[in-house]
Structure 1
């Protein structure tokens, strides 16, 4: 590990001492891990930014690694407003939900794709809500909890004209009053044209993520309400 250069992103940072930080990093082969970095390399003060691809050299045999070198591998995307808050939200989800030191090759590619989508949102080329929902549902699949948008909990095909309710650890259950099957099919096919589809997808993502996140609120969500 001492000589290997790893691509990675900073998900979160917090002070450790006057001249050190503890970073939460996402690397494809090593997954999410914690590492200590000095704020300066020689006479140069590091500009450590989230969302920027970095090349890192790590050392250490314990779970807390040490960053021996860190270099920029690409420009940091310039997000602002709700797009910036959304990037921080994605980072927080990964920090809260992805297990320590679990390889994350697919998650790493998903994360990079989401950053590119957010840049397109910033430039007015995509809508924000579908990008967030796609990341949330794909993250659930990577965590081993994929959502079946085509079949209900009984193994029967979702019927557009029927109503359904999400049941934890079961899936969608037919009910007399609930979510229209057509909306579930639209989410599964990523048809985001209608506001009702986007609204239901948001409600479902919060409902499904809630047991995984626990009682502690997401700090990034507070940014949206204060903006």
Structure 2
């Protein structure tokens, strides 16, 4: 009997005549491509994103077959920009997370971010902090952490100085750059600090761009103003 494992559906598309090709996020297996037969009747709506499932997989190739898929918790419900934001998280993982690389921490970050997005529907000012925190958590898991306390030379960041980011080095003092106070606040997730959200957005875009390449994110196009 195949073991049951928790999973989220990140993406689905038709595959052959009666199947779907799913992109799953699982703690131990990471991002997994798997095929499942389409559900019929009342069950056809059951395979939705933002819902925790248990799955049993078979197959030795990179493309697995789903033998069982059962709902473990109700789906998170999103509308408008909150739905677009949740789709953005899914697309980032599909584009950036390597095949079959374990994702225990990422799975936790993703689950926490869905919960934070749900809460943000009642407090919309929390939307951007949720997205920025997930982006930097994902970058950290990909081996691209940001040191929010020190510059490239190892000196402690100074709230009164300004900095820019140099790839593979870190922050360097640069007049006209980002305020050190904002960088220190981001590291503490202090989003009340003036400029912290704007700086976090600019820096996350800078770090994500070489990973994403020239192909635009479809989820960003859903926003009139990009996330």
Class of the TM-score when normalised by the shorter of the 2 chains: over 0.9
After TM superposition, the structure 1 = structure 2 runs for residues 136-175 of structure 1, keeping only pairs within 5 Å, are 136-175=135-174
Q: Compute the displacement of 1:34 (Å).
A: 0.1
Report the 3-state secondary structure (helix = DSSP H, G, I; strand = E; otherwise coil) of the residue aligned with 2:55: strand
Q: Distance in 1 between matches of 2:105 and 2:36?
A: 26
Aligned to 1:72: 71
1:61-100 matches, cutoff 5 A: 61-100=60-99
Shift in alpha-carbon separation, 1:110–1:138, aligned structure 2, 3 A? same
Instruction: After TM superposition, list the pairs within 5 Å mapping 1:6-45 onto structure 2.
Output: 6-40=5-39, 44-45=43-44
Mark the CA change 1:43 to 1:223 in structure 2 (over 3 Å): closer, same or farther.
Answer: closer
Partner of 1:106: 105
Q: Which residue of 2 aligns with 1:5?
A: 4
Q: CA deviation at 1:40?
A: 2.0
User: Which ranges in structure 2 are unaligned for 5 or more consecutive residues?
Assistant: none
Deviations 1:181-220 (A, max 9, x none): 1110111111101452111111111011101111111000
Structure 1 length normalisation: TM-score? 0.95
Residue correspondences, number: 226
Aligned to 1:133: 132
Q: Distance in 2 between matches of 1:153 and 1:42?
A: 59
Name the CA distance, whole Å, in 2 between partners of 1:26 and 1:51.
11
Task: Output the CA distance in 1 between the equivalents of 2:175 and 2:122.
Answer: 43
Q: Which residue of 2 aligns with 1:206?
A: 205
**TM-score normalised to structure 2 length:** 0.95
CA deviation profile, 1:22-77 (whole Å, cap 9, x unmatched): 00000001100100011127984352110100011111010000011111101001
* Aligned-CA RMSD value: 1.7
Stretches of structure 1 lacking an aligned partner (at least 5 in a row): none
8 Å CA contact 1:120, 1:126 repeated in 2: no
CA distance 1:120–1:41, change in 2 (3 Å): same
- Tell whether the 8 Å contact from 1:35 to 1:66 is kept in structure 2 after alignment: yes
Q: 1:43 to 1:187 in 2, by over 3 A?
A: closer
* Counterpart contact for 2:51–2:76, Cα < 8 Å: yes
